Structures are given as structure tokens and as C-alpha cells.
Amino acid sequence: MWCRNAKIYRTSYSKTPLTNLINTGLFDFGQAAMGAGWLQSLKEESTIQIDDGKGGMKTVPKPETLE
């Protein structure tokens, strides 16, 4: 989904005034919630099996870094 109100800032090492990011009034939660990716991630069962340290396995949420 394309956000018509999005702004792009050129930065060096991510340095930008916080006023460019916080309380801009540009984020629309209702629009974001209707996005296909948002809805899909809520419905997915993204889990992995890990060693519980006691010789067994347990199911935990899959970290976003592994997706």
C-alpha cells in the first residue's frame, strides 16, 4: 500500500530532528490496519521450536529478524 502523505528525509547516520518523526499527524492507524501485510501478520502462526535448556523443546514466536 502506498502512503501518499509519506515524507522522505535525507540523513547522515539517521540524524534528523525529532519533529520530522514525532507528532507529524501523517500516520493513519485505520489505513495501516487495513493493509494486507498487517492483516496477514496478525493471522499467521509464525513460531519456531527452540531448546528450553532442560533437554526439551518449546514453541516461541518467530523473531522478525529471522523472517
Q: What is the pLDDT of residues 2-44, one digit of tens each?
A: 567 778 899 999 999 999 999 988 888 777 777 767 666 666 6
pTM across the whole model: 0.41
- Our count of domains for the chain comes to 1
DSSP class per residue in 3-48: -TT------STT---GGGTSS-S---HHHHHTSHHHHHHHH---EE
Cell of 56: 526439551
Query: Distance between CA 34 and CA 3 in Å, rounded?
Result: 12
Domain contains 34: yes
Phi, psi of 23 (to 5 degrees): 55, 40
Predicted confidence at residue 66, as pLDDT, reads 65
Predicted confidence at residue 18, as pLDDT, reads 93
Which domain does 32 fall in, by range?
A: 18-66
Domain contains 33: yes
Domain contains 5: no
Predicted confidence at residue 17, as pLDDT, reads 94
